[in-house]
Structure 1
Amino acid sequence: MQVGMTLPVMEPDLPSDLAGILEAWSRTIDAGPFSSLCFGERMAFDNPDASTLLGAVAAWTSRVRVTTTVVVPQLHHPVLLAKSLATADQLCRGRLSVGVGVGGRDEDYRVVDADLGTKRMGVMADAVATMRAVWAGERVADAVRPVGPPPVRDGGPEILVGTMGERTIRHAAGWADGLAGVTLAADAAEVEALFRLARDAWAEVGRAEPRLTTSFWFAVGDDPRGQVHRHLRHYMNWLPPDLVDALAATAGFAGTPAELRDHLKRFEDTGCDEVHLIPTSSDLSQVERIAEIL
């Protein structure tokens, strides 16, 4: 099983030197034993723009897979998003993996004037189909030339669907390459059941086994549970604080690096291809300590 690391783009304690901390994290992840460097997007929040960050990360790294976990196609024009992602794929020389999802926050739709009626799997699947048509060099409009640049890999980057449930998996089995899952409680048994469902769904439509990835929050060091709690209070700002407080008591992993290593072994036993760890602090020592135990 491979282990990827998420950049701290959703943190409450990001320093004023955003470029400095993200570059330091990117170079450390690229130099370490990690397989992927990941980050997602939100609109009504203070995180950096995902498309812009893809270009920076491509310049800061040379080895790791660069993974979006996740972007929401309905918040973008699909042709423009296809062009942005193909450009990123060229800049990182084919290391791009694209996680897509419908998103869980209505405010992200409202702030860019996206129709809330498009917050559906079918609409997202249509957007992905348009992106793949662009990547294949098809003319998606009356233009002299198709939209470029072409991605490095024929057919474009792999597409992983962000999901936590059965309905999404069954819908995505016909068009996605795998899962970009998340487990709120860092529960290996829960993930194993989801993976079993995905394998069955892909088999039912006659496709090869999907690539199976999942993610969870983590904290190691002093007061790890408190660290997770502070992060979720900031990140889950659309939920009532008392609900977030209740969730934070068991969300993610909070413990020692050695305990995290044992916890990851349980995910490996599920047949997971890759776990994407989500930090709850921008302190670079977090990623360094995980690199040591891997």
Structure 2
Amino acid sequence: MSNQIGVLLPSAVPGTSGETILTWARLIDEGPFSSLGAADRYVYVNHELMMTMAAAAAVTSRVRLTTAALLPPLRPTPLVGKQVATLVSFAPGRVTLGVAVGNRVNDYESSGREWSRRGKILDEQIEYLAAMRDLKGEENCVGPECAAFELLIGGASDPAIRRLLAHGDGLVSGGVKPEVFAFEAYAAMTAWEAAGKPGRPRLVASTWFSSSERAGDLAEARLASYLAKGGPPEPVLSGISRGREGVEAAVRAYRAQGADEVTFFPLVDDVSELEWLAEVVRDLPDIERGEPAPDFSMFGGAEPSVKGRHA
């Protein structure tokens, strides 16, 4: 099957136990999915991202482990390096590090990190991560010697595009509509080509899902809770892909705009929800990947600058 479909662990669903997360990880590894992942929050009820990924590494052997997305500026740089190197040592060849600055001021206030410097901090940390792969033996004061890992950059602002071109392998997009993802994908691919980089950047889109087709249900309440202190604003928010038809429509829409992989975020932790999604994914026909074709009429008909389009 040509479709690459990822799914996040329910580590950000309130009340989820560690045992449930490990059960999901095992089933994802056995299922039709290309990756499993987890989201990062500081001031929320979620399980800590990197510890969750390490636990998932211990009970899986096939799927890629994707941070979607890690917010490195919330952590001291040496800690980020040590965590990444440790995760890679647990799951060599299977780590995709999606990184972003985040958009929740309270996360930065609670972590004691500077909100105004978050972009510069991330720039420094990406340079650090890139350099540590060359540290060997006694020169390595970061952690285990770090093998290769994939690095995806969140956002399509000018700074994000610079990070992509300097050290990134592609784009990770979080919870925005396909027509908005089209602009992010177009910005990434256009900059990549203009820089003369070989091939194309890998493009990963994401949205929430629910087997339930009923509005006003638990899934909707959970999403509202998750977005209460930040996240994509309403005009660009993807919302919930509901039911079998909704999931297939989401895959088709993101694939049409160039997505190599579409990742689904759960809103309930019941294992039956994952089993349902696995069945839907198995039944999907091969869906051809297109090229991003943003609707520039949204910006008055002229091709806009990517600057400021996504925080």
TM-score of the two chains, using structure 2 as the length reference? 0.81
What pairs with 1:1-294 in structure 2 (closer than 5 Å)?
Answer: 1-12=3-14, 14-15=15-16, 18-120=17-119, 122-137=120-135, 145-153=140-148, 157-163=149-155, 165-175=156-166, 176-184=168-176, 187-208=177-198, 209-221=200-212, 223=214, 226-238=217-229, 247=234, 251-294=238-281
**Percent identical residues:** 27
Deviations 1:148-181 (A, max 9, x none): 312232xxx1111111x44354333322211110
Question: Displacement of 1:261 after TM fit?
Answer: 1.7
CA distance in 2, matches of 1:147, 1:236: 35
Deviations 1:198-227 (A, max 9, x none): 110111222132110011111122525533
- CA distance 1:190–1:149, change in 2 (3 Å): same
CA distance in 2, matches of 1:168, 1:39: 24
Deviations 1:36-65 (A, max 9, x none): 101121111111112211221111111000
- CA distance 1:145–1:194, change in 2 (3 Å): closer
TM-score of the two chains, using structure 1 as the length reference? 0.85
- CA distance 1:237–1:136, change in 2 (3 Å): same
- CA distance 1:63–1:110, change in 2 (3 Å): same
CA distance in 2, matches of 1:144, 1:290: 46
CA distance in 2, matches of 1:278, 1:79: 29
Mapped contact 1:68–1:97 kept (Cα < 8 A): yes
- CA distance 1:288–1:57, change in 2 (3 Å): same
- CA distance 1:145–1:282, change in 2 (3 Å): closer
Structure 1 unaligned blocks of 5 or more: none
- Secondary structure, counterpart of 1:103 in structure 2: coil
RMSD: 2.4
Question: Displacement of 1:125 after TM fit?
Answer: 1.6
Deviations 1:236-283 (A, max 9, x none): 2326xxx99x949x7423422133123312322222110110111111
2:288 match? none
CA distance in 1, matches of 2:110, 2:249: 42
Q: Which amino acid aligns with 1:160?
A: L
- CA distance 1:138–1:174, change in 2 (3 Å): farther
CA distance in 1, matches of 2:40, 2:186: 28
CA distance in 1, matches of 2:157, 2:73: 21
Q: Which amino acid aligns with 1:233?
A: A
- CA distance 1:69–1:227, change in 2 (3 Å): same
Mapped contact 1:173–1:201 kept (Cα < 8 A): no
CA distance in 2, matches of 1:49, 1:195: 29
CA distance in 1, matches of 2:255, 2:219: 23
Give the aligned length.
276
